[in-house]
Amino acid sequence: MIIPTQVGHFCMPIHMATYIRRRQQGVSVEDAAIEARDQFLNYDIRAPWVNAARATALPFIAYTYRAIPKISQTVAERPWKVAKYVAISQGLNMLAYSVAPSDYDEEEERNSFREGETGKTWVYTDRMLRMPWLSDSGDPVFLDIRRWVPAGDVFDLQGDVPSWLQIGGPAVIAAEVYLNRAAFTGDDIVNPLTDTFGERMTKRGEFLYKSWMPSAPWVPNSWYQEKIWRAFEGDARQWHSNEPYSLGEAISSSFGVKLKPKDIEAGYAGWKIQFEKVSRELGAQASSLKRQRQRGLIDREAYEAGLKNVERKKQRLKAEWRKRFSARD
């Protein structure tokens, strides 16, 4: 017989609440325990290939392996749960905009988001939920709810790769040190031009330590402790967007409550720079094709095919620009 203490992670309050509710409804101890366990992702996986992958280069595959069947089951058997998340999300979003309006409308705010923040979760809630207050700078504040919605980020892409195919572990850390590039921030680990030998060794050691240790505010010199300390000193910027965050936001982020103030003008400025970079690169590709044709390195057919491909990309870029900046016209 399965008893409550035998259910994986049953000590968690949410599991206990499910168990107690089902027992009050007259369900047996064993069935209530099984249902409490099956309501959530069970990482007691027996498939050898999954365990081999999660123990080596694909540590996130177990999450997707368990989440997708659970999503399919929920949609088929409990569609009202999906509707519940949509209703709650939309209601809170409308409340936030009515309580704390900014100088921008919702479309303009959301079009300024960087890649990865826009779009919906699998239950069709916005990935970023508007909060009913503004930051100290008067910017709208958003909460990243992908980790709050069950399996909310299971279909996310990082670049062109699904989240479960993101490699990790010691091999990745070693590759980052070897290539001198932190994958999360995109920054160089050391400056090979100006750092002394001692400085390079110190920075690499700090990076290895932070990558290996749990990132928690109580772990000395961890990523989150550094983030909180930088906010305390008033020198806090988001790694990807370079937008400021407060001490309270840094602390809440370390506990999974990822609040992000959004500088709308900075967001649009970033997109403008990105579009201009792509436009220049496409122009350079067209010029390169022309030079190759003039030197006889490619025939006319290859030249014209290359130009058509560049032109298609330019038209796609113009369409993306119109879509991104439509709320500003």
pLDDT of residue 315: 96
Identify the top-confidence range among 22-31, 178-187, 256-265, 286-295: 286-295
Give the span between the Cα atoms of 289 and 305, in whole angstroms.
10
**Mean pLDDT value of segment 226-246:** 67
Sequence-ordered list of residues with C-beta below 8 angstroms from that of 292, at least 6 positions apart, any chain: 298, 303
Q: What is the pLDDT of residues 246-257, one digit of tens each?
A: 777 777 777 777
Q: Up-side HSE of residue 193: CA atoms within 13 Å toward CB?
A: 1
Let me know: does 246 contact 231? Beta carbons within 8 Å.
yes
Give whole-number Cα distances, 128 to 101, 125, 236, 268, in Å. Answer: 16, 8, 21, 17
**CA-based R_g, the chain, Å:** 25
* pLDDT for residue 312: 96
Q: Look up the pTM and report it.
A: 0.66
Residue extents of the structural domains in the chain: 1-40, 46-165, 166-240, 265-328
Report the DSSP beta bridge partners of residue 126. 120
What is the reported pLDDT for 310? 96
Burial 13-48 (b: 16+ CB within 10 A, else e): eebeebbeebbeeeeeeeebbbebbebbbeeeeeee
Asked if residue 303 has pLDDT above 90, the reply is: yes
Task: Report the range out of 38-47, 215-224, 273-282 with the highest average pLDDT.
Answer: 273-282
pLDDT digits (tens, 9 = 90+) for 64-108: 777 777 777 777 777 777 788 788 888 988 999 999 888 888 889
